[in-house]
Amino acid sequence: MLHVKESDSSIANDTVNRGYFYSKSCYRLFSTDYLLFLWIMYQLIRRILFFMDAEKAHYFAMNSLKRICNVSVFRSFVTWLFNPGRNLHIQLWGLKFRNPVGLAAGFDKNALYLRELQALGFGYVEIGTVTPLPQDGNDKPRLFRLPEDKALINRMGFNNDGVDIVTERLKHWRKENENNKNRILIGGNIGKNKVTPNETAYMDYDVCFRKLFDYVDYFVVNVSSPNTPGLRELQEKESLRVILTNLQKINATKETPKPILLKIAPDLTEPQLDDVIALAKEIDLDGLVVANTSLDRTTLSDPGILRCDKIGAGGLSGVPVGKRAKELVYYVGRNTENKIPIIASGGISNADDAKKNLVGGASMIQVWTAFIYEGPGIVKKICKGLKN
């Protein structure tokens, strides 16, 4: 016979009550009424964020999400809510990506929000651009919304904490996720400091590559941002050869080399593009990220163009660059006989855009601007559409 002491029975009752409470609150948490309430709250928060300065809103939103995710039950809820589902994993370069939808470089430059981005369902996140030394970037304001075009213009100028601090953060993240088979993969997007002359730029890439090597899953060499003076000149064939072959040499000394990709500008002319493709084939590059922000503003609607004069210099992203970026994906795919993997980036905001890029030769896709306009459910939405 089981003897239950009074204290035991109160513990038992307490446990039962707590179980009841949890299941009831879980029910409340997941009920449609509650989801509707969350959706209304989200629309409200979004309106408020769009009134704020774009860069401030970015950090405010991500820091708020971080605070929410500090509480494990809320983190589980966010993960559940934005779960993009199974069976979409991609095997590439010997790596297994949870799904083909990544977050493009520049969103989490300093590897501050990996846990939160993982909860939002991203298959992978490209951190950076990271430079050897920390730098502040250009004067603020430097990020502008063009809601009528679902676009952004930015002239951030590689503001980042520098490779040492970012490496420390990644080291910590790796340790925390040692046993997490479902962890997102991390791309390390690397660049040069503004003060480094182009002649010695390869050394900046060298430093970042060596320091980040153990903590990222693949590398992207960024020579295509329009906001670091002279950087795009490094897209010229011989400059690229110096930077890329140096990294490949270091890579070859490692037990398990990491994929090295090159990110190109959407504004390259056809002969420049042909040069990049020829070099990529010649040196056996692992992949291309197609493409970065654009200097071309002719694809904007008229009011956008007027506002743009006031905004000043910067790279355009979002819907207006989608057509050009997709054309480049098709061009590169065709001219490499689809032998060099492509990550498509530029104006992808729904499953249809993603499909078109994948059909055109991309192995995976990335989003950035659409995350701002379509909201945190974007990965789930695209993945759902890709399954159909």
Ligand X SMILES: Cc1cc2nc3c(=O)[nH]c(=O)nc-3n(C[C@H](O)[C@H](O)[C@H](O)COP(=O)(O)O)c2cc1C
User: What residue ranges bind ligand X (CB under 6 A)?
Assistant: 104-106, 109, 128-129, 143, 152, 154, 156, 158, 189, 222, 225, 263, 292-293, 317-318, 321, 345-348, 367-370
- Within 10 Å of residue 346's Cβ, how many Cβ atoms? 32
Shortest distance (Å) from residue 387 CB to ligand X:
21
Residue 47 CA, distance from chain mean position: 23
Interatomic CA distance for residues 312 and 100, integer angstroms: 34
108 is in an annotated binding site: yes
- Residue whose C-beta lies closest to ligand X: 106
Q: Is 225 a catalytic residue?
A: yes
Place of tokens 């948490």: 29
* Contacts of 290 by beta carbon, 8 Å cutoff, 6+ apart: 263, 264, 266, 325, 328, 329, 332, 342, 343, 344, 345, 346, 362
Nearer to ligand X, 37 or 59 (CB): 59
Nearer to ligand X, 78 or 265 (CB): 265
Question: Of 209, 207, 208, nearest to 252 (Cα)?
Answer: 209
E strand or H helix at 271: helix 270-282
Interatomic CA distance for residues 201 and 237, integer angstroms: 14
Nearer to ligand X, 258 or 263 (CB): 263
Among candidate residues 7, 64, 76, 225, the one labeled active-site is 225
Nearer to ligand X, 118 or 222 (CB): 222
Shortest distance (Å) from residue 344 CB to ligand X:
9
106 is in an annotated binding site: yes
Q: Residue 316 in 3-state DSSP?
A: strand
- Among positive and negative, which fits the CA dihedral 160, 164, 169, 174? positive
Shortest distance (Å) from residue 317 CB to ligand X:
3
Instruction: Answer whether 289's CB lies under 8 Å from 128's CB.
Output: no
246 is in an annotated binding site: no
Shortest distance (Å) from residue 224 CB to ligand X:
7
- Within 10 Å of residue 76's Cβ, how many Cβ atoms? 14
Shortest distance (Å) from residue 22 CB to ligand X:
40
CA distances from 221 to 44, 65, 134, 242, 306 (A): 39, 29, 18, 12, 34
Nearer to ligand X, 215 or 368 (CB): 368
158 is in an annotated binding site: yes
263 is in an annotated binding site: yes
Q: Which residues belong to the annotated binding site for FMN?
A: 105-109, 129, 189, 222, 263, 291, 318, 347
Q: Which residues belong to the annotated binding site for substrate?
A: 109, 154-158, 222, 227, 292-293
Catalytically active residues, by annotation? 225
